[in-house]
Structure formats: C-alpha cells, structure tokens
Amino acid sequence: MFVLVVAVPALLVVVLGYTVGHALWSAVGGPAPELAGWVTGLLLLGVVGWVLLRWARRR
C-alpha cells in the first residue's frame, strides 16, 4: 500500500511536467516535443523530491 501512496503522486507530478513541457515546446515549434515533455516532467519530479527532502530534514 505504501508504494501506491508514493507512486501515484510522483506519477501525477511527472504527468503535469510532461504536459507543460510538451505544450510549451509545441507552441515554440521545437522538434521532438515528447522528449521535451519527459525531460520537463522528470526535472519537476527531481525538484519536488529535493524540496520535500529539505522540508523533512528541517522538521
């Protein structure tokens, strides 16, 4: 059950980043918007994870 508690929000963060990155890259007219979407999604996941770890360490 713990896996779902962690995996579902992580997947939502990646999908949000993918959607934003894909939309922005398509609007600019760049090649391979799927790649830009995945990179943006994974970067957003890394940033959110880093922020949560720092927050947890300070508590």
Ordered DSSP codes for the chain: -HHHHHHHHHHHHHHHHHHHHHHHHHHHT-S-HHHHHHHHHHHHHHHHHHHHHHHHHH-
How far is the CA of 58 from the CAs of 8, 9, 45, 51, in angstroms? 25, 22, 20, 11
Predicted local confidence at residue 1, as pLDDT: 84
Q: What is the pLDDT of residues 1-59, one digit of tens each?
A: 889 999 999 999 999 999 999 999 999 999 999 999 999 999 999 999 999 999 999 98
C-alpha angle 27-28-34 in degrees, rounded to nearest 5: 75
pTM, rounded to two decimals: 0.88
